Structure 1
């Protein structure tokens, strides 16, 4: 099949492109390389498949690209492109979240509404739920506590409306704290392991007792593949990981993996960060056959290996 992946040089998007190419699909990847200071990371992400004969990279903004031309022959769309980050979404920064998470999604949906697509898979987030208590199922009211969560919920509502109004064969995946190789430089595990590599202290917001349902990136990619092949539409699924843990427990595992004692610089909790997330993935298990496999220890080891290799490469290059 001919597949479009937006955010193709990003964290999950690059892994998804690689998996789709390995499965024999023709992949068109779009990325706007928004943050110039991160561009060398993205170039590193795609170096393993940029020359693949079935891959085409389009560098551009979905708000400006000719979508009719871009979508020519496309059968499946994975809409991963977004501006992420809870802490940066407050204040005047929110304008960018509106443009890239809401307006960009609506423009893409409008261009897709009359196409004979097999599937439109939207990357949503656990941040739509806000404050939770215990396992969170998909029927919990969505009450985000950050502008980022609000923007992604708006995108999810748009997807649902285009399904109801135009029959768009869409599925939304609500990711819970995805980690692994190719994480953005502003994401916690990447930041933690980078400073451990440099023997610097970790800046930790809060006391470390906050818990997350950590989802390894290959499990998140598998969820996308399962959603692509799922014949029901207009639904949303929680995508959580094989293990739930506190941040303090994660740091203990990082010490075991890196062989280094971690120094912590405690900072105040930040607005918009929930204390706990816990995905009820029973619906995804039942409907998609989703079964996360990668343990935290294995996942952190993989990310540590990636961090060491990547920064060694970038230091030699720059």
Structure 2
């Protein structure tokens, strides 16, 4: 395939572009920031540029990973989010289905963040009695910031173009895989490394697994047609654990992984007192046959 990867200089793009190239695909990276994995410097907001790249490079598949992300809320205004996350997505979709285009599949990198309402974000402090079990059936979706709102709008554009033009589109709602620390109350207590290890229980994946999910999605897009998938490390928890995860998360983790306290203790690490949400990535495994390789058990094996 001739694959256009947007956001190619980003954390995901730096891993995905060489991964696709290893499979023998021609990969064209598009990003406003120059980088080793970017061959075209520019923005998806530039409709003319998008058109030229798709036409001139004979693009047959698109992975749209470019976006304004949650950390940009502090540095960019709302119109920038709309321009990049919504208009940029529309530009790509319209050019993908334009006369003469060879594009026959589209993978959109979305986010689990759009599934988190303010009520879920408040968690135990807001009076929640149990952790929220999150899968693709959750509705209605009430994103709590401009990042989530624009990513949800972009998802709807993807759905619409599949409906109107039969363009195969898979939407991947990835959980956290970025290296930076997020705006987490937990991070006040836990170090960044400790925090990320904990999150593999319920809301994190490695960037390598994120890239592999996109590889699988590209391969399966035409057979599936359209669908949305949560992509996250498989959780060891079940719905029956949700009450105890709010009240005493370390006890639940110790029941499932008896040695975790010893392994954590050697590093001076601790577990979150409470876990307020669990992302269920089971649908991606059932439909796409994709399962993240790195989970909490793998993290513990590394500590061991």
The question of a shared fold, defined as TM-score above 0.5 by the shorter chain, is answered with: yes
CA distance in structure 2 between the aligned counterparts of 1:155 and 1:299, rounded to whole angstroms: 34
Is 1:57 the counterpart of 2:39? The answer is yes
**Structure-2 change in CA distance of 1:215 and 1:81 (3 Å):** same
CA contact (8 A) 2:8 2:30 kept: yes
Counterpart of 2:87 in 1: which secondary structure? helix
Q: Which has the higher helix share?
A: 2
CA contact (8 A) 2:133 2:280 kept: yes
Counterpart of 2:83 in 1: which secondary structure? helix
User: Any idea what the Cα deviations from partners look like across 1:155-203, whole Å, max 9, x if unmatched?
Assistant: 00011111111111111001112x2xxx4556579xx7xx979xxxx9x
In structure 1, the gaps of 5 or more residues are 34-38, 44-49, 263-274, 303-318
Partner of 1:223: 213
Q: CA deviation at 1:10?
A: 0.4
Matched ranges for 1:188-203 at <5 A: none
CA RMSD of aligned residues (A): 3.9
User: Any idea what the Cα deviations from partners look like across 1:136-173, whole Å, max 9, x if unmatched?
Assistant: 12121122122211110000001111111111111100
CA distance in structure 1 between the aligned counterparts of 2:6 and 2:267, rounded to whole angstroms: 37
Matched ranges for 1:1-318 at <5 A: 1-33=1-33, 43=35, 50=36, 57-64=39-46, 65-72=48-55, 73-85=58-70, 88-89=72-73, 93-114=77-98, 115-131=101-117, 133-141=131-139, 142-177=141-176, 179=177, 183=178, 185=180, 187=182, 212-230=202-220, 231-243=223-235, 276-296=276-296
CA contact (8 A) 1:80 1:122 kept: yes
CA distance in structure 2 between the aligned counterparts of 1:89 and 1:56, rounded to whole angstroms: 25
CA distance in structure 2 between the aligned counterparts of 1:96 and 1:300, rounded to whole angstroms: 41
CA distance in structure 1 between the aligned counterparts of 2:299 and 2:41, rounded to whole angstroms: 30
CA distance in structure 1 between the aligned counterparts of 2:299 and 2:53, rounded to whole angstroms: 35
Q: TM-score, normalised by structure 1?
A: 0.68
Counterpart of 1:124 in 2: which secondary structure? strand
**Structure-2 change in CA distance of 1:137 and 1:242 (3 Å):** closer
